[in-house]
Amino acid sequence: MLPSLLLFILGLSFGSFFNVLILRYSPDGKLFRFKNLNGRSHCPKCLHELSAGELIPVLSFLFLRGKCSHCGQKISWFYPFTEIVTAILFAGVPLFLNAFYGVSGIVFWGFAMPLWYYALVVSWLMIALTFLVIALIDFRYYVVPDELNIVLIVFGVIVSLLLFFHGNGILPFRTSFLENYMMVFSPTQNVLVNHFIGAFAGGIFFELLVLISRGKGIGFGDVKLAFASGIALGWPDIGLAIFLSFVLGGLFGSILLLVQRKGMKDKIPYAPFFVIGVLATALFGNALIYGYFKMFGM
Ligand SMILES: [Zn+2]
């Protein structure tokens, strides 16, 4: 319990950092710029500089009742949301992976596992955090910065290599979140090949959509995101994530059209749906495919 609590608190402060990163980002500039990250935060309306007490994640928002202490300007729910979700990922990703790979929690926290396992957990956590920031930035600015795709690719390659060299040290068929169904959808069990296929399958699929739709709705940004995510997730996981994102995005778009909150020509950011698809694949991928086959009596 204690390590998870400490990770949760660490996650809250990383969430605050992500808020600064996202708020000070401008779509035509670089994401990681020292100038952007330097300097105190202030109220966007009255420019009141936030004191140390006003910078505590989530708690400050609650104590200030979501308003600036100076001018009463409402503070967006975006900030505590980012902090809480980041904290849940910090505490939850290691717990989830321990359960998924069949590693006992006590063994894990006793630092009794070989070093590669900690590297694997940290790399997956970095991938999860990158997906979160991608979803939030796309939600806010309708763009996915290249820097985040590069982070996905770097940690995707690290995860692939760690699983390739050490995958035998974990439960069988746990190199894909679809577990044994990987064998149904992929010609090979080789992790490196599957992550390579994932990248190109994702990239080529979206490139075709761009060509078919002539860049309307789907842009080259989605091609880059699908390619980078394919390296991180591998095949067939990336395929299920894309499929689920289309189902979710389609449902959401139809609901918005029905209640007439958006017209046919309004932009809807794609990455948030994609990231939810990725999350669903990691958490329920195996169960979803099992349920699907069972429905057809297979
Ligand atoms: Zn203010």
Report the separation in Å between the CA atom of 57 and the middle of ligand 1, taken as the mean of its atom positions: 18
Report the separation in Å between the CA atom of 144 and the middle of ligand 1, taken as the mean of its atom positions: 30
pLDDT digits (tens, 9 = 90+) for 217-276: 677 888 999 999 999 999 999 999 999 999 999 898 888 888 876 666 667 889 999 999
Structure tokens at 105: 């929690």
Residue 113's pLDDT is 80
Residue 106 pLDDT > 80:
no
Report the separation in Å between the CA atom of 53 and the middle of ligand 1, taken as the mean of its atom positions: 15
pTM comes to: 0.93
Give me the amino acid identity at 50. Answer: L
Report the separation in Å between the CA atom of 40 and the middle of ligand 1, taken as the mean of its atom positions: 14
Q: Rounded mean pLDDT of 175-194?
A: 91
How many Å apart are CA 109 and CA 103, to the nearest integer?
10
Report the separation in Å between the CA atom of 262 and the middle of ligand 1, taken as the mean of its atom positions: 31
Report the separation in Å between the CA atom of 66 and the middle of ligand 1, taken as the mean of its atom positions: 11
Q: Rounded mean pLDDT of 30-38?
A: 73
Report the separation in Å between the CA atom of 140 and the middle of ligand 1, taken as the mean of its atom positions: 21
Tokens 């991180």 correspond to what residue?
232
Give me the amino acid identity at 245. Answer: S
Give one DSSP letter per residue of 75-103, joined into a string: PPTHHHHHHHHHHHHHHHHHHHHHHHHT-
Report the separation in Å between the CA atom of 75 and the middle of ligand 1, taken as the mean of its atom positions: 9
Q: Rounded mean pLDDT of 84-93?
A: 97
Structure tokens at 144: 């996915």
How many Å apart are CA 165 and CA 193, to the nearest integer?
13
74 forms beta bridges with: 67
How many Å apart are CA 53 and CA 60, to the nearest integer?
7
How many Å apart are CA 237 and CA 206, to the nearest integer?
16
How many Å apart are CA 59 and CA 84, to the nearest integer?
11
Report the separation in Å between the CA atom of 48 and the middle of ligand 1, taken as the mean of its atom positions: 6
Give one DSSP letter per residue of 137-205, joined into a string: HHHHHS---HHHHHHHHHHHHHHHHHHHHHGGGS-TTTTSTTGGGHHHH-S---HHHHHHHHHHHHHHH
43: number of Cβ within 10 Å: 18
19: number of Cβ within 10 Å: 21
Report the separation in Å between the CA atom of 25 and the middle of ligand 1, taken as the mean of its atom positions: 21
Q: In this structure, is the dihedral angle defined by the CA atoms of residues 174, 175, 179 and 183, taken in order, positive or negative?
A: negative
205 and 242 in contact (C-beta within 8 Å)? yes
Residue 105 pLDDT > 80:
no
For 44, 88, 188, the CA distances from 56, given in Å and listed in that order, are: 18, 17, 49
Report the separation in Å between the CA atom of 88 and the middle of ligand 1, taken as the mean of its atom positions: 29
Tokens 């989830």 correspond to what residue?
96
How many Å apart are CA 145 and CA 224, to the nearest integer?
10
Report the separation in Å between the CA atom of 83 and the middle of ligand 1, taken as the mean of its atom positions: 21
Residue 109 pLDDT > 70:
no
Confidence of residue 159 (pLDDT cuts 50, 70, 90): very high
Angle of helix 191-213 relative to helix 237-258, nearest 10 degrees? 30
Report the separation in Å between the CA atom of 39 and the middle of ligand 1, taken as the mean of its atom positions: 17
For residue 119, the surrounding DSSP H or E stretch is helix 115-141
Residue 49 pLDDT > 80:
yes
